[in-house]
A and B are shown apart, each in its own frame.
Chain A
Amino acid sequence: MATPAINGKKQHTFDAIVIGSGISGGWAAKELTEKGLKTLVLERGRDVKHLVDYPTMNKLPYEFEHRGDIPLKVREANPVLSRANAWQEDSDHFFVKDAEHPYVQKKPFDWIRGYQVGGKSLLWARQTQRWSNYDFEGPARDGFAVDWPIRYDDLAPWYSHVESFAGISGNRDGLDALPDGEFLPPNPLNAVEGHFQKMLAENYGDRHLIAARFANLTKSTATQLAQGRSPCLSRKLCRRGCPFGGYFSSNSSTLPWAEKTGNLTMRPDSVVHSLIYDEQKGKATGVRVIDRLTKETTEYFAAIIFVNASTLNTSLLLLNSTSSRFPQGLGNDNGLMGKFVAFHNYNAKIKASYEGMQEFATFGQRPGSAYIPRFRNLYKQETDFLRGYATGFSATRNLGPNTSGVGETLKANLANPELRSWNVSGHVMGETLPKETNLVSLDRSRTDEWGMPLLNVDVDYDENDRKMETDALEQLTAMFTAAGFTNIKTELMNQAPGLDIHEMGGVRMGHDPKTSLLNGWNQMHAVKNVFVTDGACMTSTSTQNPSLTYMALTARAANHAVEEMRKGNV
C-alpha cells in the first residue's frame, strides 16, 4: 500500500508495540514497560480512562430512561449484539454495534466485540479458573489438534504472577482438575449451594461444587491498593466500569500501572492494517495504522511486536499482513493461519426449584457464583465423546411482590415484597475440538471503512458437541435429582458459536512449524520478534473461562521477549 512520507521516523519508533489494549494487551503493556521498554499500545477504539469515562457507573435505576432496556429499534438494528446478555442500557457504550464492523457469517456466528481502551476487560464475566495438565495434555492424550508445547508447570508461576496482581478470590479446593492459586478470600456460597455441594460429595466421589474463582477483590492487598483499587462492594454493576476498581480490568489495573513507569504511549483510534515485514532483516519492523477517524495512514516501528487484537481480529490482521516472503499472511508458511478456531459450547442449560432450606435466604448481591469443575473423561476416556464440561451453578431466593389485584391492595402488595422459594440453575461450558474446517479467512472482495478486508467466519458445532450436551443434561438432571431439586427443566439454547465470547485459536501454539504458527513462548515460528498472546494462540479450549490463561501466557511471553531482546536474539 502507499505509504506517506514519514516525518521524524524517530518519534514513531519504540522498543515494543502492543496491538490491542484488552485483557491480554494490558498485560503485555504492563510487563514490557516495567522492564523498561518504551512501549506503544495501539487500540482501534476510543480512549476509556478509568473512572473518567464510566458515565453510568453511579447511576440509579430510575435515572435510566428505559430502566435498563435497550429500545426495540436499536435491538432490531443489532441482531447479533442483541443476543449478548451484558448489552444493556447501562453498558451500551462499551459494545460494538453490528454495523460498525461488518463480517461475513458463512455459518451463524455471534461476534461480540468491545472496541475501546480496555476492550472487553471492562465487560467480562470475571471468572478466573486455572487450567491443569488434564487440559494441556488433552490434545496429545485424546488425539486432536496438536500437542501443546507447554505444560502446567511452565505456566504455574505466571498464573501466580497475574493472580497476585489482579486479585483473584477463591478457596484452595485441592482439586486435580482445577489447580489452586494465589487467592483472596472466596466469594461465599449460599445455603442451597452448600446443600448441593454436600449432596455431590455424598453421592459422587469425583464431582465437586466450589466457589468459582473471580477477579473481584474480596479484599485489597497492598498490591491492589498500590493500583488505587479498593475492595469490591458487591454492587454487581461491573459492566459499567467500577468506581472502586473492585474488579480487574486493563483500565483499572495494568494500563495505569504501565503509564506510571513513564514508558507507555497509548494511541487510541488506531486500526492496525498490517505488520511490516523486512525480508533483509528477517523480522517484522513495525505496523501500518489507519486512524479510525481521519483514515490517515501512519507507520510505527519497534523491535518486538505483541499482537493482542482479540482472537478473530488477530487472525484478520495477520492474514492481511502480506509480503513477497509471506503472501498468505505473516508467518503463515503452512497455510494454517485462521484455522482450528474453537470456542465453548454454552447450549445446555438446566433449572429447577428447591423446597428445602426455607429457613434461609440471601442478603445483598455478590459478583460470584458456584462452579462444578470438569469431571467427565478427566482421568480417562469414559464416554463416546471426547473431553468434558464445567458447569456454572447458582441458587437464588428472590424477594418480589405479589403483582395481582388493583388499587390499594396492589399498592400494599408492591410495598411488601415477599420471599419466593429457591430456584437453582446451571449452565454448561463444554470444550469444543479445534478443527481445520472451523476457520476464519479474508473476503478480499469486500472491505470495511478502513479498507480492511471483511472477515469470513465459518465455525460450527459438531457431533462431539451434540453428544456432550446430551450427556451434560443427563448428568446434571441426575445430580439435581440426587440433591432433591424438583421441577427440573433442561434446555438446549441452540445459540450460535461466538455468543459464549470464548472464541479461541487461529494462530495456534505447537512444537512444529509445519503444524502450528507459534512456539512454546507464543513467538511466531517464522518471525521471531512477533508474539501472539491473545485467544488466537490457543491450541485447545479446555472448559475453563480462558482470560486468566491469556493473562498468564502474555506475562510469560513478555518477560521472555525482553530476555531474548537483551540477548540480541530478536
Chain B
Amino acid sequence: MNRRAAIKTALTIATGFAILPRHLRSASGPSVRLTELRISATEEALLAEVVETLIPATDTPGAKELKVHLFVLKMLDDCHGAVDQRAFEVGLRQLDGYAQGLMGKHFADGDTAERENVLTSLERKAGVSPELRAFNRLMRSRAIEGYRESEYVMTHLLPHRMIPAPYEGYYAASNYELQEVL
C-alpha cells in the first residue's frame, strides 16, 4: 500500500465507526471466543456482510444467516498461523477503505452489484494490498467450506449420506447429470 492509500485507509478506519449503519456498530468484542485474532464486533459485522455478498440469501439462506462468518473466524483463530491471522486482520480492516475508494461508500452501504464488484476486484493484483488479497483468499476458502459443510446445506441442499450405498465402480457418469435436484 502506498502512503496516500495508507492515510486514506487510516482516516476511513478512524471515521468509519460514526457513519456505519447502526446494526454494524458495537463497542464490544466478537460473538465467538477468539484467542489469537483481534477482531471487534464492528469488524465481525462487516465480515458477515462480506460472506453474505459471497454467498447471498436467495430462496435459501445465505452465509450470514448460517453464521459462516463466525466459522471463518473460528477456523482462522484455531487452524491458521500468525502470518495468516495478521494478514486477515489487517486485510479486514482495510476492506472498508478499499470499498470506499472503489465505489465512494461503505461496503455495507453498497448494493449487491457494487459489493460483488468489490470482492471480484480483490482477485486482481493491481491496487490491492497483499493483506487484502490474503484476506480475500482466506475468507473465500473458509467461507465456502463453512457454507458447504453447514448443517443447512448438508441436510437440505446436498444431503450428506453417512451411509451412501454399496460402492459402484462402473456408475454411469450420466446419472450425475440427471441429478440436478439433489
Contact = CB atoms under 8 A, between A and B. Distances in A.
B167 A235 contact: no
Contact of A62 (B80, B149, B158, B176): B149
Contacts of A190: 169-170
Interface in A402-423: 403, 406-408, 410-411, 414-419
B81 A414 contact: no
Interface in B146-182: 146-151, 153-154, 157-158, 160, 162-176, 180, 182
Interface string A390-408: 0000000101010100111
Nearest to A71: B78
Interface string A501-529: 00000000000000000000000000000
A194 interface: yes
Contacts of B144: 403, 410, 414
B120 interface: yes
Contact of B116 (A407, A416, A417): A407
A60 B167 contact: no
B37 interface: no
Contacts of A363: 164-165, 167-168, 171, 175
Nearest to A409: B116
A72 B80 CA distance: 6
Interface residues on A, range: 35 or more
Interface string A276-318: 0000000000000000000000000000000000000000000
B58 interface: yes
Contacts of B120: 406
A66 B75 contact: yes
A193 B150 CA distance: 34
Contacts of B158: 415, 417
A191 interface: yes
Interface stretch (A112-120, A330-338, A353-361): A353-361
B168 A399 contact: no
18 contacts: A58-B162, A60-B154, A60-B160, A61-B149, A61-B154, A71-B78, A72-B79, A190-B170, A194-B170, A234-B163, A234-B165, A358-B173, A360-B169, A363-B171, A401-B148, A406-B53, A407-B112, A411-B58
Top 5 A-B pairs, shortest CB-CB distance: A190-B169, A366-B167, A364-B164, A363-B171, A71-B78
A53 interface: no
Contacts of B79: 66, 69-72
A379 to B, nearest CB: 32
Interface in A316-361: 358-361
B169 A194 contact: yes
Contact of A188 (B53, B81, B168, B172): B168
B65 interface: no
B74 interface: yes
Contact of A407 (B56, B154, B166, B172): B56
A65 B149 CA distance: 11
Given A71-B78, A234-B167, A360 B149 contact: no
B154 A361 contact: no
A359 B160 CA distance: 25
Interface in B112-169: 112, 116, 119-120, 140, 144-151, 153-154, 157-158, 160, 162-169
Contacts, number: 124
Nearest to A70: B79
A362 B169 CA distance: 5
Given A62-B151, A72-B79, A397-B173, 19 more contacts: A61-B149, A65-B74, A67-B149, A71-B78, A72-B81, A73-B78, A190-B170, A194-B170, A359-B173, A360-B169, A360-B171, A361-B173, A361-B176, A363-B171, A401-B148, A406-B116, A407-B56, A410-B55, A419-B176
Contact of B58 (A71, A358, A408): A408
Contacts of A414: 55, 144, 147-148, 153
A419 B167 contact: no
A228 B116 CA distance: 56
Contacts of B58: 408, 411
B168 A362 contact: yes
Interface string B31-43: 0000000000000
Given A194-B169, A359-B172, A417-B158, A234 B164 contact: yes
Interface residues on B, range: 35 or more
Contacts of B45: none
A189 interface: yes
Contacts of B167: 187-188, 234, 362-366
B54 interface: yes
B116 A361 contact: no
B126 to A, nearest CB: 18
A234 B164 CA distance: 7
Contact of A67 (B55, B145, B169, B182): B145
Given A365-B164, A414-B144, A191 B75 contact: no
Contacts of A358: 173
A266 interface: no
Nearest to B177: A419
Contacts of A188: 167-169
B112 A364 contact: no
A191 B112 CA distance: 45
B158 to A, nearest CB: 7
A411 B56 contact: yes
Given A408-B56, A414-B148, A364 B165 contact: yes
A428 B54 CA distance: 42
A177 interface: no
A49 B182 CA distance: 38
A143 B146 CA distance: 57
A233 interface: yes
Nearest to B169: A190
B59 to A, nearest CB: 10
Nearest to B152: A62
B145 to A, nearest CB: 7
Contacts of A415: 153, 157-158, 182
Nearest to A395: B169
B26 to A, nearest CB: 24
Given A61-B154, A399-B176, A406-B119, A411 B168 contact: no
A65 B116 CA distance: 29
